[in-house]
Chain A
Amino acid sequence: MPTLLELQTAMRQSLVHRDIAAVSAMLAAHVAPDRLDIYRNTFLLTLTKALRLCFPAVQKLVGEEFFEDAAQVFIAERPPRAAWLDQYGAEFPDFLCAFAPAASVPYLGDVAKLEWAVNCALHAADAEPLDAAGLACVAPEDQGRIRLIANPSIALVQLGYPADTIWRAVLAGDDDALQKIDLDCGPVHVLVERRTRGVEVERLDVRPWEFLAVLCAGEPIETAIESSDGFDCSSALAEHIALGRFRCFELAPDVGDRVPSTAIPR
């Protein structure tokens, strides 16, 4: 008699890899093995639906059938690891980039990357914005160590193709706009965030994008300003804070603050 783990492993083999031999042998006598198809169908339909919800523009670009085929291959290769399907599909953009049948649509991976960022922004945890008054209370000697923690909905995405314009045109069904897109315009830099009205996708110039990216990576404000190369970062910073792009701040550890390891704690 199979152990529970053996049975569950056999069931996974039938669902993910369509190999029903092992689990068929474990069924009761009155059960025809084709009943397993019901579970296989539910598994595929549920996960394909999750991917469809997350990647609507990708689906429109390649068509429903192609999308389903690609999703089936992806699901078998990368089934979900957690029972939170809003978070399923992180690896789909990279999968599409390497998916040979999609090679004729070179920007597909970038559109998927953008849609994943939009999905993450949609489901990101709620966060109260940083209270700027708290920043003013930091002692002057510590101000160089302030680093900001980004609102969890924020993503800074760099795309080789103008996938933001493609994404908008595809979802709007605007074929004219789609025709006018210059695929060779070079990389674009995009800010994705959830605001009260919904998820917004905004294209930034490279310098403001890099400045915000450094801040969101948790580097001290001072470091971000130093590396910003002449662009007016103080007004950019004030705007980011006013728009609630950070939820709090903390002080980066200072070498000067370190207590010798032999010190007796008070």
Chain B
Amino acid sequence: MHPASISKSSLIPARAGIGLRFQHHQPVLDTRPDVAWMEVHTENYMGGGTPLKYLDAIRRDTPISLHGVGLSLGSAEGVDPAHLERIRRVAERVEPGLMSEHIAWNLVGGTYLADLLPLPMTEEALDVVCRHVEQTQSYLKRRILVENPSTYVAFGNSIIPEWEFMATVAARTGCGILCDVNNICVSAHNHGWDASGYLAALPPDAVGEIHLAGHSIRTFADGSSLRIDDHGSKVTKEVWTLYRQAVARFGAVPTLIEWDNEIPPLDVLLDEAQHAERVIAAWQESNGHADAA
């Protein structure tokens, strides 16, 4: 199935947004910050009660994007239909401008492994992911975006470069790509890839959203190091540089600041979003789109 492609942002503007976490529900309502859109984790709104009440109040003024972390598009045994239905119900209630999931897996033998686990880059995994993206889009009756992963291991049977895997999933299923620039930076370091080359290999028309976040670096006794995608700090200089390259290639797309550990005051997130807005504005100016925002 190839769902009709929706415009890049029918509801979510091509500007900077922030990831909304529970800690910021009340501060957002109290201060009504000037931020173009927000994104939440779908799984945090599957029940009733307070979280949904906050989200209902916040989305009156602010477009919301739903970002799932649990669907497991890469599971050999298939996605959990009950989870897909929960996602559909949240979407029905929240009316998100965008919906996204990950190129990852977390379900095997009926066990949920509570993480975004790496896939082997094989033809089999590609077929499995495409099948599940199509199933999801047809069940939700809309196009989804899929996010490139951050990974710490790679498998011996991988034969497809990750950027090619991403591009193929988009081409075969009609889904969009959520280009996580921080994940590219992390994985490129961990596996010795060329981060700029990764960006250059993604199809610009498919990229519907960008994620930015902080990561940390762990150094081992043998002097080697690993970048850890922990979303616990400011976006690094390197990632901002990569982001400017991404905007130059993909144009102005909705860009999200994610922060999930040691969550700072709302102002810190808003500053980061401002930074991204300036990058978008600079690109628009240099391309004669100054009034497009």
Residues of chain A whose beta carbon lies under 8 Å from any beta carbon of chain B:
1-5, 7-9, 11-12, 15-16, 26-32, 35-36, 38-39, 42-43, 46-47, 50, 79-86, 122-127, 152-153, 194
Contact = CB atoms under 8 A, between A and B. Distances in A.
Given A8-B75, A43-B113, A123-B48, A83 B105 contact: no
Given A29-B156, A31-B153, A80-B111, A4 B48 contact: no
Interface in B182-203: 191-192
Q: What's the dominant secondary structure at chain B's contact region?
A: loop
Given A7-B120, A27-B154, A29-B156, A79 B115 contact: no
Nearest to B128: A4
Interface stretch (B58-66, B80-88, B244-252, B266-274): B80-88
Interface of B: 43, 46-49, 52, 69-72, 74-77, 80, 82-83, 86, 105-115, 117, 119-120, 122, 124-125, 128, 152-158, 191-192, 224, 226, 228
Contacts of A125: 47-48
A155 to B, nearest CB: 14
A79 B113 contact: yes
Contact of B157 (A26, A30, A152): A26
Contacts of A28: 153-156, 158
B49 A83 contact: no
Given A1-B156, A9-B109, 6 more contacts: A4-B125, A12-B111, A31-B154, A46-B114, A126-B52, A127-B48
B76 A4 contact: yes
Given A30-B191, A39-B152, A79-B113, A122 B47 contact: yes
Nearest to A120: B47
Contacts of A36: 153
B116 to A, nearest CB: 9
Contacts of B70: 83-84
Contacts of B155: 7, 26-28
Contacts of B128: 4
B113 A84 contact: no
Nearest to A33: B153
A3 B86 CA distance: 29
B83 A84 contact: yes
Nearest to B51: A123
20 contacts: A4-B74, A8-B108, A11-B108, A11-B113, A26-B157, A28-B155, A28-B158, A35-B153, A38-B226, A43-B113, A79-B112, A82-B80, A82-B82, A82-B83, A83-B43, A83-B80, A84-B83, A123-B46, A123-B48, A124-B49
Contact of B109 (A12, A26, A38): A12
B247 to A, nearest CB: 30
Nearest to B86: A84
Given A11-B113, A16-B111, A83 B157 contact: no
Contacts of A30: 154, 191-192
A33 B223 CA distance: 16
Residue of A4, A85, A152, A153 contacting most chain B CB atoms (<10 Å): A4
A86 B43 CA distance: 9
Contacts of B48: 123-127, 152-153, 194
Contacts of B76: 3-5, 8
Given A81-B110, A81-B111, A85-B114, A4 B49 contact: no
A9 B114 CA distance: 15
A83 B106 contact: yes
A120 to B, nearest CB: 9
Q: Max chain A CB contacts within 10 Å: which of B77, B109, B224?
A: B109
A103 B265 CA distance: 43
B226 A83 contact: no
A47 B86 contact: no
A95 to B, nearest CB: 16
Nearest to A47: B114
Residue from B69, B82, B155 having most chain A Cβ neighbours under 10 A = B155
A12 B75 CA distance: 12
A2 B158 CA distance: 11
A126 to B, nearest CB: 4
B112 A83 contact: yes
A79 B71 CA distance: 17
A83 B71 contact: yes
Contacts of A83: 43, 69-72, 80, 83, 106-107, 112, 114
A3 B191 CA distance: 22
A81 B80 CA distance: 10
A39 B117 contact: yes
Nearest to A11: B117
